[in-house]
Amino acid sequence: MPYLRVHSPALPIEQKRVMARKLIEITLSAFRLPAEQRNQVTVQFISQAPSRDGDSFSPTTPKEADFTFEVIGHDLTEEKKTAFTQEATLMITHLIPAKPAGLIARLLGAKADATRQIALQFCELSPAVSDPFVVPPLRRAA
C-alpha cells in the first residue's frame, strides 16, 4: 500500500485531481501492482509557500525543488524507483506549465525556463507498520 506525498506550489483542485489520478496509474505501473489495489494508493498534496527561504520539511531535500515526491512503500527496489522517477518526472513536465517570464525579462527578450526542479525521496515501509493490529476484546472479571 504505497503512500505518496506531493510537496508543490499551490495548485487548483482540478489540477490536483488530475495529478492524483496520474500518480496512482504511475504507482500501479512502476510497482507492478494489480488494478484492484488502486484504492489502496494514497496521494497527499502539501502546498508550499511561494517563498522558499523557510525551512524545508527534510534536510536532504533541495529547497529549490518545485515539486518533491515522498514515496513510502514496501519492496522499493532500484528498478521500481527508477520506473517511478521516470514516469513521474515526465508527467510533471507535461502537466504543469513552465513559469512565465517576468515583465522585465520579457522586455529584455528572455524566455521562461521550461525546466522544473523535481526531487524524489523513497522510504521503505516496514511490514510491521502496515500489518493490521487487532486488539482482543476485554474480558470482564467474574
CA distance 125 to 74: 5
**DSSP run (H or E) holding 73:** strand 67-73
Of 4-13, 48-57, 96-105, give the range with the top mean pLDDT: 4-13
With bands split at pLDDT 50, 70 and 90, how would you rate the model's confidence at 13? very high
As a whole-number percent, the residues of the chain with pLDDT over 90 amount to 32
Look up residue 120 and give its three cell numbers.
524524489
- Give the global pTM: 0.68
Instruction: Give me the mean pLDDT over the 89-116 stretch.
Output: 66
The three cell numbers locating residue 80: 521500481
pLDDT at residue 103 in the model: 63
Q: Which residue has the higher pLDDT, 39 or 130?
A: 39
Domains of the chain, start order:
3-127 (3.30.429.10)
**Is the pLDDT assigned to residue 59 strictly greater than 60?**
no
Q: What is the pLDDT of residue 56?
A: 43
Residue pair 1/40 in contact (Cβ under 8 Å)? The answer is yes
Distance CA 3, CA 9 (A): 20
pLDDT band at residue 29 under the 50/70/90 scheme: very high
